[in-house]
Amino acid sequence: MREREPSVLVIGAHPDDPELQAGGTSVLFARCGNSVQFISVTNGDAGHHRLSGEELAERRKAEAAMSSRVAGIGYVVMDNRDGELEPTVDNRKDLIRRIREFRPDIIITHRPYDYHPDHRYTSILVQDAVFFASIPNICPDVPPLKRKPVLLYSGDSFFKPLPFHADFAVGIDQAIGAKLDMMHCHESQFYEFLPLSLGVPEKVPEGGAERRAWLESQWAGEWRADPWRELLARFYGEQGKSFRYAEAFELSEYGHIPADPREIFPFLPERTPHSKE
């Protein structure tokens, strides 16, 4: 049995990355009473075709704040420039302090293999910060963690140098609506910049309700459960066969290795075929 419900930190490179990485799972954690916080390591000030700099950074920070209110999740946007993130010692120390102050049991972040350098360097920074978070003489102004948190990588489709390997799958049917609602708050990305980048700006509707429906039609399929059906059945039993949507995660050896998935996912059935009990 757990002494307390785990606290969860989702660290993405840009505002909207935490939602994409683990929005559904984060909503489920929050509904169980867990403390959940998102961190964007950059301010997103380059992610647009018309806006840039402080104007865009402020808009994206406001969008993140709106998203946080959808599910009662904390949201921190750091002030590193979009597209200019580097895995420096100063940035590492900044994350070490933030991790120690929040004291998470679980951290979710990008894999270090990704098309975007900000994603790759965020992953490297998080990995290094997790290693040092329990070492007292590093950043001694903030008390160290007694134990490393579990470190999970969010799913992606990149194959080189190593493909994503799912160790856990979470059924998010009850949270997919909230995940999409959080994405809906990031108007600058999902209704402006990304449609232009994909060559479909003319397909974006004007009204809010119409946009939300369009967003679901375009994005919900990214989290279809079929690729993770075997894992879902392993963790949920018969219920795993019925999920339409799921988020998958890879366990990193750089963090704490849980003995049982229920140690980190309180919304799993009380007993699973995977349990060692």
Q: Is position 63 within any domain?
A: yes
| pLDDT band for position 263 (cuts 50, 70, 90) | confident
Which tens digit of pLDDT belongs to each residue from 215-235?
999 999 999 999 999 999 999
- Report the alpha-carbon distance of residue 94 to residue 122 in Å, rounded: 12
Which tens digit of pLDDT belongs to each residue from 151-161?
999 999 999 99
pTM above 0.75, yes or no: yes
Which of these ranges, 89-93, 126-130, 263-267, has the smallest mean pLDDT?
263-267
* pLDDT of amino acid 272: 44
* pLDDT of amino acid 276: 40
The number of residues in the chain equals 277
Q: Is position 227 within any domain?
A: yes
- Report the alpha-carbon distance of residue 56 to residue 75 in Å, rounded: 17
Q: Is position 274 within any domain?
A: no
Q: Is position 60 within any domain?
A: yes
Q: Is position 80 within any domain?
A: yes
Q: Is position 3 within any domain?
A: no
Mean pLDDT of 84-94: 98
Backbone angles phi, psi at 237, to 5 degrees: 70, -140
Q: Is position 2 within any domain?
A: no
Which tens digit of pLDDT belongs to each residue from 200-217?
999 999 999 999 999 999
Long-range contacts of 119-123 (CB under 8 A, 24+ apart): 119/12, 119/13, 119/17, 121/13, 121/85, 121/86, 121/87, 122/11, 122/12, 122/13, 122/41, 122/85, 123/153
Domain that holds residue 94: 8-263
Specify the CATH number for the domain of residue 231: 3.40.50.10320
Q: How many domains does the chain have?
A: 1
Q: Measured on CA atoms in the order 58, 151, 259, 101, is the torsion positive or negative?
A: negative
Terminal C-alpha separation, the chain? 11
* Residues forming beta bridges with residue 8, ordered by sequence position: 36, 106
Q: Measured on CA atoms in the order 204, 205, 207, 212, is the torsion positive or negative?
A: negative
- Report the alpha-carbon distance of residue 230 to residue 252 in Å, rounded: 20
* pLDDT of amino acid 274: 45
Q: Is position 40 within any domain?
A: yes
Directed axis angle between helix 89-102 and helix 117-132, to 10°? 60
| Among 223, 192, 209, residue whose Cα is nearest residue 21 | 223
